[in-house]
C-alpha cells in the first residue's frame, strides 16, 4: 500500500505553528515511507477563504522546506492526477456523490429556515436538553420536496445518520465510542450549494487515495461523522491520528489572542489614552472599538490592525504564525526541529536533528497524547546555536536575504562592504537573523535623528573623568576627520594612537563616548566596526551634534 498523507488547510488566515507542525508530521510520515504528501486547499467557506491566504500557506510551507507531491502547482511541485486541489473547484465531484446519497435515501433536502431552527435550539436549551435536528424535513412527501426545489426555495442537504454507536480508532489517542443518537442528521451541503467540511473531506480523502489522516485534535469528534459518511458512500477508511494542541507554558492555548493580550497590557501599563494615529492623522482604530477591546479580554483586533498599532507603539508581539517567526529571523530548519519536538520525541533524549532525520524516524508511536508546551527560550537557544555554527559567509547571505525582505533600509543605507562588516560583527551574538538590524537601528537613522538622554551610563561616560568624555570626544573629532581611508583598521590605528597619547592607554575612555555620540546609547557593535559602517561624514556630523546637545546638559565645573 502506498502511504498518502495530506495537509488540508482552510485558507482563512495564516499558517499557525500548530498547523505547521501538522504539515511537518504529514510530510515526515510520507517521506519516511516512500509515500506522497497531498496539499489540498479547503476553501468551501466562501466568506472566510481568500487567495492571499492560500498563497501565504504555500509560501510558509516552501520556507519550512515542506514540499508536496500533489496539490496546487507552485514552481516545480504540485499538480497530480487527483486534482483540482482547491475544494471550490470540485463542486461537480461533490454533487455527484450528494445526488447518489439523496437518491439512495441516505440524505435528504431540508427547507427549515434559520428562524425555525433557532427556535428549536432555544427550546432545547430551555428544556436543558442537547439539541438534535428533529428530522422535520422528512415529513415532506417526494412531490412536496420536488415542488419546493423547483420553486427555488433555499435548502440544505442533511445526512441521515444511522441509529448506531460509532467507534473511532485513533493511532494517537486510542479508541472512543459515541453512543447511538449522539450525532444528529448533520448538514452535508449548505444552502449556497457548497458542501460542508465533513462531506468534502470524506470525498476528497477517498478520491485522493489518502491512507493516513494526521490532523489537529479539534477534529477528533468530527471523525465520527466522517466514518459514517464513508460507510454510507462505500468509501475506504484511512488511518487516523489526531495531534494535540500546542500550548503556552502557562497552559493557555497558543493563539492570536496572545498578541492582543501583550498589546493590551502594554497600552494599560503605559497608560496610553487613545489609539495611535496613522500617518494622515486619523486614529488607527475607532474610539469605541478601541475602548471595547481594551476593556474586554475576549475581544480581538484584526491581525493587520493589531500589528500596525503595535508598530506605532513600538511593542513587539509574540510570534504565533510561521510568518511571524520568519520575520523575527528564525531559521526554518530550527523551527522545524523545534516543532517536531513539540509533540513527538526521537527517543534517546535526542533533540537536535534535521528534517531528513525526522522523516527517517517519525512514527506515530512516539507522538504524544498530551499537549505540548511551547518553550520560546528553548527555541531561541536552538536558533542561537545554529547561527553560531554557521560560517560568516552563510550568515552574511542569510542576513542579506532577510534584510532584503524585512529590513531594506539597511541595504539601501549601507554599501556591500559596510553590510558585511555589520554581519561579521554581529554573527556571534545574534540569536536571530533579525538581531543585527533590530538592535542597530541607529545605523540607518538620519544623522539629525539621534537623540541623547542623560542616563547613568551616559553621565558616567560623558561627564566624568579628567578630561571628561565630552572633552575627549571634541579632541578626537579632528583625528577621525583626518583619516584618509575610513576603514576599521585605519580607524583602529588612529584611535589606538589617540588613546596612548590622551587617555592613559584606556580605550574605554574614548570608545564609550564615541559609541554614545554616534548611536545615542551605550551599546553597539565593536566601535571600529561601528564607525566604519557609518562612514566619515555621519561620524563627524553625529559627534558635532552630540557635543552641542550634551555640552548644554553637562553639569558646570
Ligand atoms: N481544513 C481543516 C482545518 O484547517 C483541516 C481538515 C482536516 O485535516 O481534516 O482545520
CB 539, CB 491: distance < 8 Å: no
Supply the pLDDT for residue 353: 96
Cα 246 to averaged position of ligand 1 atoms, centre (Å)? 16
Q: CA distances (Å), 238 to each of 123, 176, 202, 204, 538, in order?
A: 38, 16, 10, 12, 65
Cell of 483: 583619516
Q: Is 198 in the pocket of ligand 1 (CB under 6 A)?
A: no
Supply the pLDDT for residue 91: 97
CA 280 – CA 223 distance, rounded (Å): 51
Residue 423 falls inside a structural domain? no
Pairing relationship of beta strands 4-7 and 36-39 according to DSSP bridges: parallel
User: Roughly how many angstroms between the first and final C-alpha of the chain, as a whole number?
Assistant: 87
Q: Is 542 in the pocket of ligand 1 (CB under 6 A)?
A: no
97 and 238 inside one domain: yes
Cell of 48: 472566510
Supply the pLDDT for residue 273: 87
Q: Is 260 in the pocket of ligand 1 (CB under 6 A)?
A: no
Q: CA distances (Å), 486 to each of 74, 494, 524, in order?
A: 47, 10, 18
Supply the pLDDT for residue 557: 63
Residue 195 falls inside a structural domain? yes
CA 77 – CA 65 distance, rounded (Å): 12
134 and 213 inside one domain: yes
CB 237, CB 361: distance < 8 Å: no
Cα 475 to averaged position of ligand 1 atoms, centre (Å)? 68
CA 17 – CA 22 distance, rounded (Å): 9
Q: Is 42 in the pocket of ligand 1 (CB under 6 A)?
A: yes
Q: Is 56 in the pocket of ligand 1 (CB under 6 A)?
A: no
Q: Which atom of ligand 1 is nearest to the CA of 6?
A: 8
Mutate which of 5, 7, 8, 238 for ligand 1 pocket (most atoms within 8 A of beta carbon) = 8
Cα 148 to averaged position of ligand 1 atoms, centre (Å)? 34
Supply the pLDDT for residue 140: 96
224 and 282 inside one domain: no
| Closest listed residue to residue 342, CA positions, set 390, 387, 382, 303 | 382
| Closest listed residue to residue 399, CA positions, set 407, 325, 440 | 407
CA 493 – CA 192 distance, rounded (Å): 76
160 and 193 inside one domain: yes
Q: Which atom of ligand 1 is nearest to the CA of 205?
A: 9
CA 99 – CA 95 distance, rounded (Å): 6
Cα 277 to averaged position of ligand 1 atoms, centre (Å)? 38
Domain that holds residue 485: 447-553
Q: Give the DSSP per-residue string, 35-58.
A: -EEEE-B----TTT--HHHHHHHH
Cell of 321: 504564525
157 and 291 inside one domain: no
Q: Give the DSSP per-residue string, 66-86.
A: ---SBEEEETTEEE-TT---B
- The number of folded domains in the chain is 3
Domain boundary residue among 243, 276, 300?
A: 243
156 and 264 inside one domain: no
209 and 99 inside one domain: yes
Cα 23 to averaged position of ligand 1 atoms, centre (Å)? 11
R_g of the chain, CA atoms, integer Å:
31
Q: Is 10 in the pocket of ligand 1 (CB under 6 A)?
A: yes
129 and 211 inside one domain: yes
CA 4 – CA 6 distance, rounded (Å): 7
* Strand ranges (E), 160-292: 166-170, 174-178, 187-189, 212-216, 239-243, 246-247
Q: Which atom of ligand 1 is nearest to the CA of 42?
A: 1
Which residues, 6 or more positions from 337, have their beta carbon under 8 angstroms from its beta carbon?
Answer: 351, 352, 353, 354, 358, 382
Mutate which of 5, 9, 222 for ligand 1 pocket (most atoms within 8 A of beta carbon) = 9
Residue 409 falls inside a structural domain? no
Mutate which of 41, 170, 219, 230 for ligand 1 pocket (most atoms within 8 A of beta carbon) = 219
Residue 187 falls inside a structural domain? yes
Cell of 351: 533533540
CA 143 – CA 151 distance, rounded (Å): 12
Q: What is the CATH number of the domain that holds 217?
A: 3.40.50.620
Cα 192 to averaged position of ligand 1 atoms, centre (Å)? 20
Q: Which atom of ligand 1 is nearest to the CA of 9?
A: 4
Cell of 493: 590605528
CB 425, CB 529: distance < 8 Å: yes
493 and 531 inside one domain: yes
Q: Which atom of ligand 1 is nearest to the CA of 22?
A: 8
Supply the pLDDT for residue 119: 96
Cα 198 to averaged position of ligand 1 atoms, centre (Å)? 10
Q: Is 80 left (phi over 0), alpha (psi -120 to 50) or beta?
A: left
Question: What is the residue whose three cell numbers read 475581544?
Answer: 299
CB 443, CB 409: distance < 8 Å: no
235 and 188 inside one domain: yes
Q: Which atom of ligand 1 is nearest to the CA of 19?
A: 4
Q: What is the CATH number of the domain that holds 471?
A: 1.10.10.350
Q: What is the mean pLDDT of each run of 10 residues along the chain (557 residues)?
A: 96 95 98 98 94 97 97 93 97 97 98 95 94 95 96 97 97 96 96 96 98 96 98 98 94 93 96 91 94 95 95 95 98 98 90 96 94 94 98 98 98 96 96 97 97 94 94 97 95 97 93 97 95 97 97 83
Cα 9 to averaged position of ligand 1 atoms, centre (Å)? 5
Q: Is 8 in the pocket of ligand 1 (CB under 6 A)?
A: yes
Residue 345 falls inside a structural domain? no
199 and 272 inside one domain: no
Cα 215 to averaged position of ligand 1 atoms, centre (Å)? 7
Residue 183 falls inside a structural domain? yes
Q: Is 16 in the pocket of ligand 1 (CB under 6 A)?
A: no
| Closest listed residue to residue 432, CA positions, set 460, 462, 414, 406 | 406
CA 490 – CA 480 distance, rounded (Å): 9
CA 272 – CA 259 distance, rounded (Å): 17
What is the Cα 278 distance to its own chain's centre?
Answer: 25
Q: Which atom of ligand 1 is nearest to the CA of 7?
A: 8
Give burial (CB, 10 Å; 0-12/13-18/19+) of 408: exposed
Cα 194 to averaged position of ligand 1 atoms, centre (Å)? 16
Does residue 84 have a cis peptide bond before it, meaning omega lies within 30 degrees of 0? yes
DSSP-derived secondary structure letter, 286: -
Which residues, 6 or more positions from 541, have their beta carbon under 8 angstroms from its beta carbon?
Answer: 447, 448
168 and 276 inside one domain: no
CA 203 – CA 100 distance, rounded (Å): 13
Helix %, strand %, coil % of the chain (to 5): 50, 10, 35
Cell of 181: 443518537
CB-based burial, 96-115: b 16+ in 10 Å, e otherwise: ebbeebbeeebbbbbbbeee
Residue 457 falls inside a structural domain? yes
Cα 222 to averaged position of ligand 1 atoms, centre (Å)? 10
Cα 205 to averaged position of ligand 1 atoms, centre (Å)? 11
Residue 159 falls inside a structural domain? yes
Q: Is 201 in the pocket of ligand 1 (CB under 6 A)?
A: yes
Question: What is the residue whose three cell numbers read 554557521?
Answer: 390
| Closest listed residue to residue 449, CA positions, set 528, 368, 519, 377 | 519
* Strand ranges (E), 366-459: 372-373
Q: Helices (H) and strands (E) in the chain — how many of each? A: 24, 13
Give, for 379, the enclosing helix (H) or strand (E): helix 376-388
| Closest listed residue to residue 37, CA positions, set 63, 78, 70 | 70
User: Vertex 135, ends 130 and 140: CA angle to 5°?
Assistant: 160
Cell of 448: 539629525
Amino acid at each position: 500500500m502506498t502511504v498518502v498523507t495530506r495537509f488540508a488547510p482552510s485558507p482563512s488566515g495564516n499558517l499557525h505553528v500548530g498547523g505547521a507542525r501538522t504539515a511537518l508530521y504529514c510530510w515526515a510520515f510520507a517521506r519516511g515511507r516512500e509515500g506522497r504528501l497531498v496539499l489540498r486547499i479547503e476553501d468551501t467557506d466562501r466568506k472566510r477563504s481568500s487567495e492571499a491566504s492560500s498563497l501565504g500557506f504555500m509560501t510558509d510551507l516552501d520556507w519550512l522546506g515542506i514540499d508536496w507531491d500533489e496539490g496546487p502547482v507552485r514552481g516545480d511541485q504540485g499538480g497530480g492526477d487527483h486534482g483540482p486541489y482547491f475544494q471550490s473547484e470540485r463542486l461537480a465531484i461533490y454533487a455527484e456523490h450528494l445526488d447518489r446519497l439523496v437518491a439512495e435515501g441516505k440524505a435528504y433536502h431540508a427547507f427549515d429556515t434559520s428562524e425555525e431552527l433557532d427556535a428549536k435550539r432555544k427550546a432545547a436549551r430551555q428544556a436543558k436538553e442537547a439539541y438534535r435536528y428533529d428530522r422535520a424535513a422528512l415529513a415532506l412527501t417526494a412531490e412536496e420536496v420536488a415542488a419546493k426545489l423547483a420553486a427555488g426555495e433555499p435548502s440544505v442537504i442533511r445526512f441521515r445518520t444511522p441509529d448506531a454507536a460509532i467507534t473511532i480508532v485513533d493511532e494517537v489517542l486510542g479508541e472512543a465510542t459515541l453512543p447511538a443518537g449522539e450525532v444528529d442528521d448533520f448538514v452535508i451541503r449548505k444552502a449556497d450549494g457548497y458542501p460542508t467540511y465533513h462531506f468534502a473531506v470524506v470525498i476528497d480523502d477517498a478520491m485522493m487515495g489518502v491512507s493516513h489522516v494526521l490532523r489537529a485534535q479539534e477534529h477528533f469528534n468530527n471523525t465520527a461523522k466522517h466514518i459514517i459518511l464513508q460507510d454510507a458512500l462505500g468509501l475506504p477508511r484511512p488511518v487516523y491520528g489526531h495531534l494535540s494542541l500546542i500550548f503556552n507554558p502557562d497552559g493557555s492555548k497558543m493563539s492570536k489572542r496572545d498578541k492582543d493580550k501583550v498589546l493590551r497590557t502594554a497600552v494599560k501599563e503605559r497608560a496610553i489614552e487613545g489609539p495611535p494615529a496613522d500617518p494622515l492623522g486619523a486614529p488607527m482604530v475607532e474610539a469605541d472599538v478601541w475602548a471595547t477591546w481594551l476593556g474586554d479580554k475576549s475581544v480581538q483586533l484584526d491581525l493587520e490592525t493589531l500589528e500596525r498599532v503595535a508598530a506605532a507603539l513600538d511593542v513587539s508581539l509574540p510570534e504565533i504564525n510561521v510568518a511571524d517567526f520568519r520575520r523575527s529571523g528564525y531559521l526554518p530548519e530550527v523551527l522545524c526541529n523545534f516543532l517536531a519536538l513539540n509533540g513527538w520525541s526521537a527517543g534517546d533524549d535526542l533533540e537536535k536533528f534535521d528534517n531528513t532525520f525526522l522523516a527517517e524516524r517519525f512514527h506515530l508511536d512516539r507522538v504524544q497524547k498530551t499537549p505540548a508546551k511551547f518553550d520560546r527560550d528553548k527555541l531561541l537557544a536552538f536558533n542561537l546555536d545554529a547561527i553560531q555554527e554557521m560560517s560568516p559567509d552563510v550568515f552574511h547571505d542569510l542576513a542579506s536575504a532577510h534584510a532584503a525582505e524585512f529590513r531594506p533600509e539597511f541595504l539601501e543605507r549601507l554599501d556591500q562592504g559596510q553590510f558585511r562588516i555589520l554581519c561579521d560583527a554581529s554573527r556571534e551574538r545574534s540569536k536571530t537573523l533579525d538581531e543585527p538590524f533590530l538592535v542597530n537601528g541607529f545605523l540607518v537613522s538620519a544623522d539629525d535623528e539621534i537623540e541623547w538622554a542623560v542616563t547613568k551610563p551616559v553621565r558616567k561616560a560623558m561627564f566624568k573623568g579628567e578630561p571628561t568624555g565630552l572633552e575627549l570626544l571634541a579632541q578626537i573629532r579632528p583625528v577621525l576627520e583626518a583619516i584618509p581611508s575610513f576603514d576599521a583598521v585605519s580607524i583602529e590605528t588612529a584611535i589606538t594612537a589617540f588613546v596612548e597619547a590622551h587617555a592613559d592607554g584606556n580605550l574605554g575612555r574614548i570608545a564609550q563616548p564615541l559609541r554614545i555620540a554616534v548611536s545615542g546609547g551605550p551599546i553597539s557593535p565593536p566601535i571600529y566596526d561601528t564607525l566604519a559602517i557609518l562612514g566619515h561624514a555621519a561620524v563627524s556630523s553625529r559627534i558635532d551634534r552630540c557635543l552641542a546637545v550634551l555640552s548644554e546638559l553637562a553639569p558646570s565645573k
